């Protein structure tokens, strides 16, 4: 661990708790996720002592290989409930990016470097830059362009055909026209000619019977407080099981039937994997503003230290309306550690939504960071 920054939260955690975990790991009857949540760390205890308020859900998957080479997934869950709604925020950018890449795969002559645009818009874009922005900075505009290209019906249908459900991608992000059905006409500019993108018409937003789609005791609309729960019944819906199921198909496609895999060629899939794990400094962004954990909550979310080169966190986070979510495939090549971890937490003590008054930095991010460290250390000990 020589290349870990001195005294960052992860190494302090390793030094203090390694002995305790060595002892606890000799008790195979204990659920490793429950063990992690029984940690005495203040970031964990603060949430565990007030579970009802925080609506925590967690899905942790161990990865092993049988003697015949078969990949074995072992899942551990905490309060996992796909019928209990949470707002997925920017986590929907991952399926939008993947489906767009798969759609591009089926188009003759088009690549991620070919410029594309929209009728009435003088600017041109390319998917190669979009993917860097989506994963490196969680850029809303890049996601909105993917949504504009294919539309919600196409995105949802494609995911369900892969067995990734329940899911509802129903709107753009942070834009006045968020959920309208009409979309801009789009095209690619290839060899001096415009290649129009077929317009996939969107129907009405699908209604799904879920619990807790009405949240809080009030919400802000412009500068006014509306003293009724905020209605999320037409918002994006992407539960943890579906989120992690998508990740598993990206990294372990052989574990799924052929029709449930993404039809993306290996070279392009490798690039996608790289984009998902890249940190902003690798993309040339100012490290004083865009530090490594800018969009990586597990393990490093509560520090601005650099993530060691041997640890790769392939993930997509989301945070909005007081809900923090991270969906990650974490790999440490030195210690042969590989696992999936997905979690969501609500931090909105005053019960008012859309007021930008949330406990992200004091409760949410520290909890997810410490949860990631707890599971990572368990995996380190398990693989010894």
The answer to whether residue 4 is domain-embedded is no
380 touches 336 (CB < 8 A): no
Which residue reads 């992200």 in tokens? Answer: 360
CA 88 to chain centre: 8
Q: How confident is the model at residue 200 (pLDDT cuts 50, 70, 90)?
A: confident
What's the whole-number mean pLDDT along residues 342-355? 98
| Sheet arrangement for strand 193-196 | 116-118, 186-190, 193-196
User: How far, in Å, CA of 221 to CA of 333, rounded?
Assistant: 48
Q: What is the model's pLDDT at position 384?
A: 77
pLDDT at 118 over 50: yes
What digits encode the pLDDT tens for the residues 48-104?
999 999 999 999 999 999 999 999 999 999 999 999 999 999 999 999 999 999 999
The answer to whether residue 203 is domain-embedded is yes
Out of 17-21, 92-96, 132-136, 349-353, pick the least confident.
17-21
pLDDT at 19 over 90: no
What's the whole-number mean pLDDT along residues 234-245? 98
Q: What is the model's pLDDT at position 313?
A: 98
pLDDT at 145 over 90: yes
Domain total for the chain? Answer: 1
User: 14 or 295: which carries more pLDDT confidence?
Assistant: 295
pLDDT at 12 over 70: no
The answer to whether residue 172 is domain-embedded is yes
The answer to whether residue 327 is domain-embedded is yes
CATH of the domain at 178: 3.40.710.10
The answer to whether residue 32 is domain-embedded is yes
Q: What is the model's pLDDT at position 26?
A: 47
Q: What is the model's pLDDT at position 28?
A: 53
The answer to whether residue 346 is domain-embedded is yes
User: How far, in Å, CA of 150 to CA of 237, rounded?
Assistant: 18
The answer to whether residue 2 is domain-embedded is no
26 touches 35 (CB < 8 A): no
The answer to whether residue 3 is domain-embedded is no
Q: How confident is the model at residue 367 (pLDDT cuts 50, 70, 90)?
A: very high
Q: What is the model's pLDDT at position 48?
A: 98
pLDDT at 16 over 50: no
DSSP for 292-312, please give it: GGGG--TTTTT--SPPPTTEE
pLDDT at 205 over 70: yes
Give residue 185's domain range. 9-382
Please state the pTM of the whole predicted model. 0.92
Q: Which of 76, 81, 59 is nearest to 237 (CA)?
A: 81
Average pLDDT of the residues of the chain: 93
């Amino acid at each position: 661990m020589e290349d870990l920054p001195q005294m960052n939260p992860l190494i302090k955690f390793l030094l203090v708790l390694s002995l305790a975990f060595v002892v606890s790991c000799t008790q195979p009857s204990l659920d490793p996720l429950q063990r992690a949540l029984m940690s005495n760390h203040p970031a964990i205890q603060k949430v565990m002592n007030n579970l009802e308020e925080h609506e925590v859900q967690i899905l942790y998957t161990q990865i092993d290989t049988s003697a015949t080479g078969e990949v074995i997934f072992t899942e551990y869950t905490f309060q996992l409930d796909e019928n209990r709604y949470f707002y997925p925020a920017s986590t929907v950018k991952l399926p939008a990016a993947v489906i767009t890449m798969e759609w591009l795969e089926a188009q003759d002559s088009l690549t991620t470097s070919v410029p594309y645009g929209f009728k009435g818009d003088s600017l041109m874009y390319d998917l190669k830059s979009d993917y860097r922005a989506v994963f490196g900075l969680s850029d809303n505009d890049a996601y909105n362009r993917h949504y504009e290209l294919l539309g919600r019906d196409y995105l949802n249908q494609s995911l369900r055909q892969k067995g990734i459900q329940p899911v509802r991608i129903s709107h753009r992000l942070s834009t006045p026209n968020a959920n309208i059905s009409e979309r801009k006409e789009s095209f690619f500019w290839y060899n001096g000619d415009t290649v129009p993108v077929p317009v996939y018409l969107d129907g009405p937003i699908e209604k799904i019977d879920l619990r807790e789609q009405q949240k809080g005791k009030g919400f802000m609309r412009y500068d006014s407080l509306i003293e009724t729960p905020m209605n999320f019944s037409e918002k994006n819906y992407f539960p943890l099981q579906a989120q992690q199921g998508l990740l598993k198909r990206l990294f372990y496609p052989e574990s799924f039937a052929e029709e449930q895999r993404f039809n993306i060629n290996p070279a392009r899939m490798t690039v996608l994997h790289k984009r998902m794990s890249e940190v902003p400094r690798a993309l040339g962004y100012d490290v004083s503003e865009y530090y490594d954990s800018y969009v990586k909550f597990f393990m490093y979310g509560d520090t601005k230290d650099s993530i060691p080169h041997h640890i790769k966190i392939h993930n997509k986070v989301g945070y909005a309306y007081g809900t923090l979510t991270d969906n990650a495939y974490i790999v440490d090549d030195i210690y042969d550690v590989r696992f999936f971890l997905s979690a969501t937490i609500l931090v909105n003590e005053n019960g008012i939504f859309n007021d930008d008054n949330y406990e992200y930095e004091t409760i949410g991010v520290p909890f997810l960071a410490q949860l990631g460290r707890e599971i990572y250390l368990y995996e380190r000990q398990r693989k010894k």
